[in-house]
Structure 1
Amino acid sequence: MMEIRFTLLLLVLLLVGCNSKQDEAVPIDDTSTQELSYLTHAPASKRTWLTLNHLQQGEYSQPSPIHNSYFMPIDAELTTLDNFSGNLTMKETKMLGNGPEEDNRGKGYLFFPGFTTDFYTQGEHFVPVKQDIIYSTGYDSFWGIILSPGKIWSEADDQGWLRVAFPFVLTDKLRSQTHNGIATFLFDPTNNEVSKFRFQVVQQTASYFQYHFWGQLDLLFNNESSEDFIAHKAMFNQYLAALPNIATWQSLTAAVEEDYVNAIVSDPNGADYSAIGLHYNDTLYLQACPTPYGDFPFCAQMRQGSFSAAKSMGAGMLLMWLTQKYGEEILDDVVTKYLPIEADHNQWDQVTIQHLIDMSSSIGELGIYPENDMFSDEYNEKTGPWTWATSAQEKLDISNSYSHYSWSPGEVFRYRTVDTFTLAAVMDALIKQKEGNDVNLWDRFTVEVLNPIGIAVLPAIHTIETNGTRGIPLLGTGLFPTAIDTVLISKLLQNKGVHNGVTLLNTSVTEKALAASTMHSLPSFNDNSIQNDNINYRFSFWLIKGTNMDCEYWIPRMAGYGGNFINLLPNGVTFFVYQDAFNSDFLVEAEKIANSLSPMCP
């Protein structure tokens, strides 16, 4: 799929913009004479770094991130601590890093975002209440932050203090790039004191911005919180109950030839792959999540940048849900029934919801022949301004300024992220028309679909509205799933939208969308105007022709920039790769493993 890679690479270069400053890395003290083995090697049986004393000091004492294992238990006693809660606040603060100082809008890459969140403890778990995107409370930071549950424990040398470690993500307001970090601090539940906040950001799904950040900052603690957490704790228990069994990748060799298993290997240096996993019979076989500083400790909970995989797990699933609520007939509703569109042509009067989810709206300007590249109109002079537009109306104004092709809607596949946003706006207007203006599309979907399958929060970027309301979700590129989220979503899709006997997604629509055939799909063309015999598109899913020669089948795939792939194989196996280097999708190798677990041909 080289044509996909090249086109999307050009797109991202436009989206990111150029930083003319190209600042040097933040200067740090010369520690070249010190013994620095702790930077890249796992600790021994006794803690020598990130001690209580280290975390009570005012400054960061290492010249770079250190091995991730120092953030986790070392000679520890597992601690259970129920009903302890409070509030944590971080002020926007300068951090260390090896990248540029700021973006081309003057926002600081080297400012850790300010945030505040309530938290509670439950058993050995540390649970922040805010797990959606938190945009910095200051004015200088480029970043927003997503906090995830972590763990608590005690160590003998910590003088009665308890340790906390949890994963987080730095991201922005426009794209689902992720910069994965891990943080730790100590607290004294008796005297309500906390240490400094130590963190490092050492992995990413963002091929265009591969830098690391680290630091030791002040953390404010208040033992008073604004909630009783009853609903949060119930949802967290539901999440724990929904967790699949997690096994090592190598344990697949119990049922699969070792050569097949070993053929799928992530980069041990942590440069390319963030997560690789396979789900079958409620077991997630997960490779370690490598980084340049050792494996990421919270691999299964590590949030990934979906990029365009959001079109399937976002827009596609939302439409499966809405057809369950309101009937399949809404697929034939014209877009203008719900969304007023001001354009210099009347083609929109023929475009239906079905056309938008199939990427066959017939709206567009570049690639005027049906056999032109499927990405002809994805990358153009309007793409940058559309991406940088922050409000829904700004985005829609640009989307509506496009002309139209000579063919009718539904006839030709043209990949256009702007059409997915228009679809999101239509679905938002539809649900508001049905249930009231105070209903938010993504929040309602979360409550009615994601929560029941065990996903408490799936962060989604929304447009930013001047009236303070929660805007339209960016369902084309803006989701942040974990490996566990990926499994739970894929399991629901593989089960045709049914969870524990309850139909959450329209079964008929889901079944048609994920059929292992090309029925109701459209062919794709590459940049040489040649039809791709092995790639079709339907209902936000790519269809990839299987390689098993004993029978013909097609594999529905969610796909995103950088080489993110979630493949729903016809025998119930789900195989996924999150990466940012456009390397192998390993699909041929994954098919061999899947076929060993359960034959794909009758």
Structure 2
Amino acid sequence: MSIFLNAHAENLENVLWNNSKLKSSFDYDLLLDNFSSKNGDDFHIKISSSDIVKGIGFSILSDEYDLKDLIDLSKFPIFDTELKSVQGSVTPVTNFIESKNAFFNIYIGTGINRISNSSSKSIVMLPIALTHKNANCVHNGLMIFSIQESLISSLIFQISSETCAYFKFNFVSVQDSIYKFINKKVSNPLKSEINIENLSDISNIYDFYKIPNNSFADSEYFDKKNLTTYGLIFNDLHYSSGCMTRNGKYPLCNEMLLPSYSLAKSIAGSFTFAILEDKDKSFGQTPVSIIPECDSKSWKNVNFNHLSDMTSGHYIRRLNDYDESSITHTKFIFDAETHNEKIEIACNDFPYKTKPGKRFVYRTSDTYILGTGFNAYLKSKNGLSDYFNDILIELHQDLGLSNASMHSLRTFDETAQAYTGWGMYLLQSDLKKIHDFMHSVRIENDKLSYLHEALNPNKKNSIPAIKKYDIFYNNGFWSRKISASRLGCDEDIWIPFMSGFGGITFAFFPNGMSYYYFSDGYKYYWDNALMASHKIKSFCK
């Protein structure tokens, strides 16, 4: 049964309990009206989605690569999960779930369990996302069901937003639930609670600090339909736009899954590099030939520093983004699914052209080689074999990052190599914690010196990347040089930042602030935000 999207929906509970048919998608701005402030009873259940579909709506909005022929969304992908609800907070035992769908996997975050505003039943709402099995796209939505004593209603799934530049769609369905109550009283409750952060509306900044309106991703340079979220962080304040969707503001914004894309080069790549170099000062000089597939004459003088700087000397053409967008590299990203396939392309299909360390050529496959090198190095030193699990996750735990940040896309084989240059995930609360960590390392230089240097770019340590825009690269981070005259400072100001495919930026300003936006309209613009931050607190030294 097809339904019409983006209209006002029938009563939520009537649809859940099959008393009326779903005729439209749900307006997120009105959805919370169904929930009271009283927590529902605790529970511990196993629940699955059924292939019995009672109502469905699906419309493709954008499909640059003709993916429609590869996907099956005749129903929400079938999956099994286990949920525990304690004091109104509902947590899945596993966040990332391998689904039976050929194209999509599933992410479930921490949701809420509240008594209905119109009955004695409880209503459960969980953040859910469809993630691509071999790409970093995320399609965000909600999973909703109701509980009455020992009965569980049908399940509603709705996808109304994404951070995915090349594939966008709306989806809503009602499907039968298959469930089993394990225990009404939850034993060993999960530690994870819904991420509650003291967020302020970013629009409040304008009047309070007397800065020009539309200084952030609300400017004319961005199409609202391509925005997921944006914000400015400083001191203990996190100013956020909330999370935008085509059906209103996302009601669980702190739990919305955000893809890293190439932010992973700085997080998985540079964070790990810094930790390992702190323990071994010669780590950066480790030859790439430690990797058997790269043990050849052309890689003889290339080391880990060169890979991190994108100066391996291997490339097809030096033109900006040529290698990254090439047919060969597209095959590496999307078609090569095993480690053997990926590393063979990365090591052998980009010819040696110039002395390593001399020229910047951006290419994700070099960061994949770096991640492979991390594992080879660890194995040679102490028998460890997975840098992501053995090194990076420990840091993320120390920083208090979310479970989402501790997952990576990996190759589909026994090696299960973490992608390193892409394929990670974050929550909005992670951004504040990364901000705190970045500015701490930026100021202090007694440890993680590799990361400290990346966060303090200058003309001596940075490599020209995009000369037209005064953009540089070093140690897995981008940077911009802003002229002294533009800012009214005595000297040029350098700003380090992370960047991700489709329109993602996370910039760390010298005044202690950080600015981010997640979007998918191929826009990389933050000049207005830079000047607004400078007006609030000067960048000048």
Find the partner of 1:174 among 134, 144, 148. 134
Q: Report which of the two has the higher share of strand.
A: 2
Asked if 1:153 corresponds to 2:105, the answer is: no
- Superposition pairs of residues 556-575 of structure 1, within 5 angstroms: 556-575=496-515
Relative distance call for 1:269 and 1:55 in structure 2 (3 A) is farther
Paired letter, 1:50:
L
Paired letter, 1:537:
Y
2: CA distance, partners of 1:248 / 1:523: 37
Q: Which residue of 2 aligns with 1:19?
A: none
Q: Which residue of 2 aligns with 1:90?
A: 49
Paired letter, 2:454:
A
Asked if 1:352 corresponds to 2:314, the answer is: no
Q: Which residue of 1 aligns with 2:87?
A: 123
Relative distance call for 1:533 and 1:271 in structure 2 (3 A) is closer
Percent sequence identity over matched residues?
21
Asked if 1:50 corresponds to 2:12, the answer is: yes
Question: 1:202–1:291: 8 Å Cα contact kept in structure 2?
Answer: yes
1: CA distance, partners of 2:117 / 2:253: 27
Deviation of the 1:278 alpha carbon: 0.8
The DSSP-based 3-state class of the residue aligned with 1:518 is coil
Paired letter, 2:421:
G
Q: Which residue of 1 aligns with 2:527?
A: 588
The DSSP-based 3-state class of the residue aligned with 2:161 is strand
The DSSP-based 3-state class of the residue aligned with 1:555 is strand
Deviation of the 1:143 alpha carbon: 0.9
The DSSP-based 3-state class of the residue aligned with 1:495 is helix
2: CA distance, partners of 1:497 / 1:549: 23
Relative distance call for 1:118 and 1:430 in structure 2 (3 A) is farther
Deviation of the 1:600 alpha carbon: 1.2
Question: 2:457–2:474: 8 Å Cα contact kept in structure 1?
Answer: no
- Superposition pairs of residues 366-381 of structure 1, within 5 angstroms: 366-367=316-317, 372-381=318-327
Find the partner of 1:333 among 270, 273, 286. 286
Relative distance call for 1:261 and 1:516 in structure 2 (3 A) is farther
Question: 1:88–1:219: 8 Å Cα contact kept in structure 2?
Answer: yes
Paired letter, 1:491:
D
Deviation of the 1:86 alpha carbon: 2.3
Report the RMSD for the aligned CA atoms in angstroms: 3.1
Relative distance call for 1:114 and 1:461 in structure 2 (3 A) is farther
Q: Which residue of 2 aligns with 1:9?
A: none
1: CA distance, partners of 2:325 / 2:537: 41
- Superposition pairs of residues 427-506 of structure 1, within 5 angstroms: 427-437=374-384, 439-445=385-391, 447-457=393-403, 458=405, 460-467=407-414, 471-496=416-441, 506=447
2: CA distance, partners of 1:298 / 1:579: 18
Q: Deviations over 1:284-319 (max 9, x none)?
A: 100132222111112232112222222112212222
1: CA distance, partners of 2:447 / 2:107: 31
Question: 1:113–1:141: 8 Å Cα contact kept in structure 2?
Answer: no
- Superposition pairs of residues 70-85 of structure 1, within 5 angstroms: 70-74=30-34, 76-79=36-39, 81=41, 84-85=43-44
Deviation of the 1:576 alpha carbon: 0.4
Paired letter, 1:554:
W
Q: Deviations over 1:572-592 (max 9, x none)?
A: 11100111112352x222123
2: CA distance, partners of 1:217 / 1:494: 47
Gaps of 5+ in 1: 1-26, 40-47, 526-530
Paired letter, 1:210:
K
2: CA distance, partners of 1:466 / 1:174: 13
Question: 1:328–1:509: 8 Å Cα contact kept in structure 2?
Answer: no
Question: 2:160–2:245: 8 Å Cα contact kept in structure 1?
Answer: yes
Structure 1, 96-105 or 506-515: larger mean CA deviation: 96-105
Q: Which residue of 1 aligns with 2:2?
A: 28
Asked if 1:513 corresponds to 2:475, the answer is: no
Relative distance call for 1:98 and 1:112 in structure 2 (3 A) is same
Relative distance call for 1:162 and 1:312 in structure 2 (3 A) is same
1: CA distance, partners of 2:454 / 2:133: 30
Paired letter, 2:468:
N
The DSSP-based 3-state class of the residue aligned with 2:470 is strand
Aligned length: 528
Question: 2:16–2:155: 8 Å Cα contact kept in structure 1?
Answer: yes
Find the partner of 1:259 among 212, 218, 221. 212
Find the partner of 1:217 among 175, 180, 184. 175
Find the partner of 2:516 among 555, 576, 594. 576
Question: 1:460–1:473: 8 Å Cα contact kept in structure 2?
Answer: no
Deviation of the 1:269 alpha carbon: 8.4
Q: Which residue of 2 aligns with 1:11?
A: none
2: CA distance, partners of 1:216 / 1:486: 34
Deviation of the 1:342 alpha carbon: 5.1
Question: 2:40–2:115: 8 Å Cα contact kept in structure 1?
Answer: no
Q: Deviations over 1:544-564 (max 9, x none)?
A: 123523241111111111111
Deviation of the 1:107 alpha carbon: 4.0
Gaps of 5+ in 2: none
Asked if 1:247 corresponds to 2:200, the answer is: yes
The DSSP-based 3-state class of the residue aligned with 2:8 is helix
Paired letter, 2:371:
A
Find the partner of 2:245 among 285, 291, 300. 291
Question: 1:277–1:284: 8 Å Cα contact kept in structure 2?
Answer: yes
The DSSP-based 3-state class of the residue aligned with 2:327 is coil
